[in-house]
């Protein structure tokens, strides 16, 4: 039971991060081409999940992906089953809540790339994809990894949006935060301590990796 909770929590966080990463890279790559007004609107929309209570985010997802919702009806027509109250719904909720934390470091890393490097590569015959793959991704790699770890860590601890759109179904949608909530409700103190300890352990490992990446990137910049 405990192993299933841990595996499901990691699975949800991995899928949520996988959903966010391509969109984050696209936004980061094209941010400098947007007019100032669109950049302002984009920044507000990106930061919105941080300002909204996760329960509100989950409520809107529930409306969209419910059987009567636009996306829910379309998903059922294509795949033949409802998405709400599934582990994938938990991944979508986690992805939306954690999106600002993954996209911000990536956007910052891309913004700090010297455009002259890209222009020089283009003048030597490199196409846009080659510039993106060989120059931008390599130079922005520390920021990309930092964003991935931050988004993954946030997804591990997502509760409010998840419980709204995916529920708290043991063995199906019950992630680590939801299992802690259930244990508190029933007063199972021994299980609470184990689950809380696991949650803290996962967070410490993820944040240690995040700070290690920042530390190594800072030292490499000093040595250049």
For residue 110, give the 3-state DSSP assignment: helix
Please say if the pLDDT value at position 69 is more than 90. Answer: no
Q: pLDDT band for 174, please (50, 70, 90 cuts).
A: very high
Round the CA-based radius of gyration of the chain to a whole number and report it.
20
Structure tokens at 77: 């027509």
Across the range 161-188, mean pLDDT stands at 93
Q: pLDDT band for 34, please (50, 70, 90 cuts).
A: confident
Rounded distance, CA 40 to CA 109, Å? 18
**Region label for 99, one of left (φ > 0), alpha (ψ between -120 and 50) or beta (otherwise):** alpha
**Average pLDDT along the chain:** 90
Report yes or no: 103 and 21 within 8 Å, Cβ to Cβ: no
Report yes or no: 195 and 176 within 8 Å, Cβ to Cβ: yes
Across the range 161-189, mean pLDDT stands at 93
- What is the predicted pLDDT for the residue at 49? 93
């Amino acid at each position: 039971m405990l192993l299933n909770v841990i595996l499901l929590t990691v699975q949800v966080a991995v899928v949520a991060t996988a959903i966010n990463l391509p969109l984050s890279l696209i936004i980061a790559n094209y941010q400098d081409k947007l007019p100032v007004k669109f950049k302002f609107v984009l920044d507000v929309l990106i930061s919105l999940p941080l300002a909204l209570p996760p329960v509100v985010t989950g409520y809107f997802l529930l409306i969209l992906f419910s059987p009567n919702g636009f996306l829910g009806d379309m998903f059922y027509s294509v795949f033949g089953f409802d998405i709400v109250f599934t582990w994938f719904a938990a991944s979508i909720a986690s992805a939306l809540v954690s999106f600002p934390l993954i996209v911000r470091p990536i956007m910052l890393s891309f913004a700090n790339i010297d455009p002259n490097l890209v222009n020089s590569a283009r003048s030597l015959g490199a196409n846009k994809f080659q510039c993106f793959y060989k120059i931008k991704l390599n130079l922005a790699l520390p920021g990309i990894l930092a964003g991935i770890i931050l988004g993954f860590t946030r997804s591990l601890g997502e509760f409010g949006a998840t419980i709204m759109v995916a529920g708290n179904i043991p063995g199906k949608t019950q992630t680590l935060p939801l299992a802690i909530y259930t244990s508190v409700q029933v007063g199972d103190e021994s299980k609470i301590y184990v689950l809380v300890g696991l949650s803290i352990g996962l967070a410490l490992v993820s944040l240690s990796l995040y700070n290690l990446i920042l530390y190594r990137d800072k030292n490499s910049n000093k040595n250049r």
